[in-house]
Amino acid sequence: MSNPITIIPQPLAPTRTQNPARNGQPGSIKAPGSFDQLLQNKIEQGGVKFSKHATDRMQSRGINFNPNQIQRLESAVSQVSAKGGQESLVILDNTALVVSIKNDTVVTVVDQNQLKNNVFTNIDSAVIA
C-alpha cells in the first residue's frame, strides 16, 4: 500500500519592488509631509498613480494636492469606473486631470491658468470632484 502525498496550496503574496529615489540616491529621505512623500505614499498604497508626465507638469506648474483632494480624486475615479468609463476628465477644484481609469493613472494635469482654450481629446467621460 502506498502513502498518498497531500499538497496544500499556499497563497502567493504580491511582491513590492522599491523604486529608486528620483535624484538617483537610493534611500534618500524626503521631508515628511512633502508633496513627493505624499505622492510616493499614494503610489505604494496602490491608489491612483501619477504618470511621469503628470508629475512633471505638477512640479513645473507648482500644483500640489492635499490628502483630502487625493481622496476626492480617488472617489471620482471609482465613480467613473463603476459607470464603465475608460479615459476621464476629472475637474478637481481649479485643476483638470486626464485620468486613465483602467490603469488608475493620472495622465496629465492642467491648472486654472492653462485651462482656457484647452481642448481635451480621447476622453469618454467627465466628472467634477
**21 or 88, greater pLDDT:** 88
Question: Higher pLDDT residue, 27 or 116?
Answer: 116
Starting at the earlier edge strand, list the strands of the sheet with 125-128: 49-50, 105-110, 95-100, 87-92, 125-128
- Cross-strand bridge partners of residue 90: 97, 127
User: For the purposes of burial, counting CB atoms within 10 Å of the CB of 90, is it exposed (0-12), middle (13-18) or buried (19 or more)?
Assistant: buried
Per-residue pLDDT tens digits for 77-93: 999 999 999 999 999 99
Separation of alpha carbons 12 and 53, rounded Å: 33
What are 105's three cell numbers? 493613472
pLDDT above 50 for 21: no
- Sorted by where each begins, the domain ranges of the chain are 50-128
Amino acid identity at 54: A
Question: Is residue 32 very low, low, confident or very high in pLDDT (cuts 50, 70, 90)?
Answer: low
Closest CA to 91 of 56, 125, 121, 60: 125
pLDDT digits (tens, 9 = 90+) for 98-112: 999 999 999 999 988
Model confidence band, residue 43 (pLDDT cutoffs 50, 70, 90): low
Confidence band, pLDDT 50/70/90 cuts, at residue 20 = very low
Highest mean pLDDT (candidates 3-7, 28-32, 35-39, 74-78) = 74-78
Among 89, 49, 101, smallest CA distance to 70 is for: 49
